[in-house]
Structure 1
Amino acid sequence: MNDRLQQLAIFVRTVETGSFSKVARECGLSQPSVSRTVAALEERLGVKLLTRTTRQLSLTDAGETLLSRAREALAGIEEAENAARGADRLSGTLRVSMPATFGVKQIVPLLPAFLERHPLLRADLMMSDRYENLIAEGANMALRIGNQPDSSFVTRKLAATRRLFVAAPAYLARRGTPKNFAELGQHHLVGGPSDGGEQNWTALRDGVTEIQPFDPRVRTHSAIGAVACASAGLGIAIASTWMCADELASGALVEVLPDYRLAPATAYAVFPAGRRPSLKARAFSDYLEQVLVSDQ
């Protein structure tokens, strides 16, 4: 039975990743061993599951049928075992995709207490400022910051925090401090994930929405990069308090235009569509909803 389950697990991950070599690295096996395992499964079932070319792997009709059932079976086995153990004895590996800066600054400090509650559980933190394909990466869940993801995913709001304009004191001493939103047009601006790649910055003051064209002198695609650029005196950036709390506390950054309100940064738990979130993913999202601080 164990061999049959291993065959199914390797087949599912091969399809999800599209790569024998990636599955080999995940499982600590050689690439030929993974290929032989899939071939053995095909031989045992007497059907072709994958069509192999030099560029990609594609599913046959039989493979499509097996894939959905195999996923259900493997998830069901793990869920049954965790249900039998109880919520305080979850086991297995919890794979969570998340933005790198948010993961380092917010999630890692909260992780010891969660793993202390679940000593049989392992964590695989997939930190990247690129949005990963949850299924291809084998993630149980993802943490996302920003607008609610599209409806093809199952989402859960966890917490929200303020976004604010920040700059280094040395930059403001050199270039002056803007007194109103329009004066941002006279300053160097830093673009990052918190501004959403928009062509305008929008803020609210005394119930009135104001819009300022946004033409950054420096752009970075990571939150930590935007904070670092602002700290280095390259200009004014937008950052959430989750991202820049340490820099504000140390004085490396100060808030600019505090009378203006930006839309908050909202953290969501995101689960792959078409399947019930696992017990370990639900437990982790429950925990984060309790401990992540909202300050909007």
Structure 2
Amino acid sequence: MARLDVNRTAEMEVFVRVVDAGGFSAAARALHLTPSAVSKLITRLELRLGARLINRNTRRLQLTAEGAAFYERAVTLLADLEEAERSVARSEVPSGRLRVNANVPFGTLYLLPALPEFLARYPAVTLDVVLTDKVVDLMEERMDVAVRAGPLKSSQLVARKLGDTRMVIVASPEYLARHGTPRGPADLDAHRCIGFCYLRQVEGWPLKAEEGREATVFRPQGHVLASDGETLRHMVLAGTGIARLGTFHVAADLLAGRLVPLLEDFNPGDTDPMHAVYLGQGGHMPARVRAYLDFLVEVVAPRFRRAAALEPARLLQNA
């Protein structure tokens, strides 16, 4: 690898100025340098290149063949450099490709409906949206922003909290009409409970203790497992069984009576935080990333929090 020379661009610029100005003195005046300083920079450039660029034994500046070829390349390179600098400066206006990841429920209910508003604000941004309940590696998958539920594990990520969601056990009225309503945690064993799993790791349902018993974690052993929350929700709506989901996910279904909250007396009230996460940028964050994070906090988070604040127990009292 060639040795780093921080003066390389300066020498090239001085050389182009000398050629454009038609002489050392005119270039020196334009650059606010002395003629001797300009001459030294050209000499140093020639020594580094190992070729004479300018014939100095004439009254009129005359380029050598090597000098003429170098001048053409130098003009192009300096123009490209200037354009690159302008491009970075323009990037303070949100633009370019933005890759966003979220779990399927949050993405379907909150991110996707808000996309038209974001794109109207920032028409120069191009969005790639990837919805999966799998936790993706932001660096490996080249993601700019991800929305994640639950406690954060990676210390490499910077997070902005969007809110918290409470968990609730739900079933459809049709399912309950056919199979009855569980009155306590022990009754769940007689029901088809749908579990959420990824890579076959089934999540448990924490439950407060029934009278005379210890608190428990119920693990669904039903005939059906789902790999993402939205699939699980549709199964419950279809009357397949009972599931445990976030209130943000089923708030509209509960309010409309499509789903019914169960075992609220035994709900420990545990919540899951929701964060927007991104990789630290070493003090610099692209404008498109900052704009999207601000949009999530300003527009999407309030909608999420309103749904997550639903209290299923009050629905039961008003039924």
- Residue 257 of structure 1: how far off its partner (Å): 1.8
- 2:272 paired residue number: 265
Distance 1:99 1:225, change over 3 A: same
Q: 2:220 aligns with which of 198, 215, 218?
A: 215
Distance 1:105 1:78, change over 3 A: farther
| Number of equivalences | 215
Distance 1:189 1:277, change over 3 A: farther
- CA–CA distance in structure 2, aligned partners of residues 90 and 209 of structure 1: 54
Q: 1:231 aligns with which of 234, 237, 241?
A: 237
Q: 2:291 aligns with which of 283, 286, 296?
A: 283
Structural mapping, 1:34-49, within 5 Å: none
What 5-or-longer segments of structure 2 have no aligned partner? 1-84, 310-319
- CA–CA distance in structure 2, aligned partners of residues 149 and 155 of structure 1: 11
Q: 2:172 aligns with which of 149, 161, 168?
A: 168
Cα contact 1:158–1:285 (8 A) shared by 2: no
Partner of 2:264, secondary structure, is: coil
Amino acid at match of 1:211: T
- Residue 174 of structure 1: how far off its partner (Å): 1.9
- Residue 94 of structure 1: how far off its partner (Å): 1.5
- Residue 156 of structure 1: how far off its partner (Å): 2.2
Cα contact 1:200–1:211 (8 A) shared by 2: no
- Residue 79 of structure 1: how far off its partner (Å): 5.9
- CA–CA distance in structure 2, aligned partners of residues 229 and 286 of structure 1: 34
Distance 1:273 1:245, change over 3 A: same
Moved >3 Å (runs of 4+) = 76-80, 196-200, 203-206, 273-277
- 2:205 paired residue number: 201
TM-score norm. by structure 2 comes to: 0.59
Distance 1:269 1:235, change over 3 A: same
Bigger radius of gyration: 2
Structure 1 range deviating more: 278-287 or 91-100: 278-287
Partner of 1:158, secondary structure, is: strand
Structural mapping, 1:152-163, within 5 Å: 152-163=156-167
Amino acid at match of 1:266: P
Amino acid at match of 1:210: A
**Aligned alpha-carbon RMSD (Å):** 3.0
